[in-house]
Amino acid sequence: MIDAARIHTKFVSRFSQTPTMIVRAPGRVNLIGEHTDYNDGFVLPAAIDRATFIAASPRTDRRVRVVAADLNEEDEFGIDQIERSGMRPWSNYIRGMIKSLLAAGHVINGADMVVASSVPRGAGLSSSAALEVATGYVFQLFHNLNILGEELALMAQATENHFVGVNCGIMDQFIVTLGQANHALLIDCRDLNYQAVPLPASTSVVICDSHIERTLAGSAYNQRRAECDQAVELLKSHIPGIKALRDVTSDQLQVYGHVLAPVVRQRARHVISENERVIAGVNTLQAGNVAEFGRLMNASHASLRDDYAVSIPEMDALVASAQRVSGCYGSRLTGAGFGGCTVSLVANDSVEHFRHEVAAAYLASIGRSATIYVTHAADGVSRVRPE
């Protein structure tokens, strides 16, 4: 597991000097509220105790040198004319974030950086958002930039949207920046108001990586966004003033859903009901009703499977194997879909039994091994010191 001490050592071995600072930015998992963020809706993610670390020292010139320790690759570029790298795609998250800082009018110089991470890549746990936010935070601290957490998250989102080329919502970058230990964060993706929601100390957040690459997630993601936009346009003539599916209730969809094609109606039904589940879920957690929150997680997965159609049989099997284990309150697909990870809320005294049972059931039914991470909610991006 990478930590501040190890990345400190890696920096010294590469640059023959002590890094000026080390920052960490966590990965994240979304407990409930899937595909609602780009519909101006509500999400309930938590930062996790796996993180991307950057050890860095400032330069007086306009060059950036980066070592990706996990990949054993290096990159170097000037900040006055930043372009996408085809040879080093991981570098684009760093390049784009620096370009976003410059576009916002901040005056910065170059840096020497070493990057390493314990956030699994390609698993839907926001390794890219962690790298973007960590990069921005390094330059913010180096140059004493006055950037609020929300602003840093928005710059990281802009990096993803306009430089990397992924049309994501704000959730990932926001929770990576502003996460709080032992809490999930209820985020209103329209106005970015947020509220910390305590997670039960008696439970653990368990992430199961299916090791199925999300090969269809990109194209399906864009298709789902288009279907949601189509639903809004068709419903506007019947529900004046709506701007997104966030503004539509389940009762209204019941009345006016006939104007939508069956598939579009299904997509809308997921988003609308998922927003309602998020709000209900927050209320149940605040009331200490963990069992009801788990039921809402299970309902969320069924909606993602049946109405939004972003699950696949392998993910359904992984979820079902988790839901059968005593001590698991609820389990669901998390992330864009078509592979990646599930998230389960499990009683602490059942975690080891859960890990064994789910791994065995998944292997028996699918013939694949799952990697299971037991995590807890962590703080957002921060500066750290080697032990």
Q: Which residues, at least 6 apart from 28, have a Cβ–Cβ distance to it below 8 Å?
A: 45, 46, 47, 48, 125, 126, 129, 130, 171, 172, 175, 176, 179
- Start-to-end CA span in the chain (Å): 14
Of the residues 49, 75, 172, 247, only one is catalytic, namely 172
Q: Quick check: is 75 catalytic?
A: no
- Longest C-alpha distance within the chain, in Å? 68
> Quick one: CA dihedral 129, 131, 135, 138, positive or negative?
positive
> Quick one: CA dihedral 310, 277, 192, 256, positive or negative?
positive
63 closest CA partner among 2, 9, 15: 15
Tell me the catalytic residues.
172
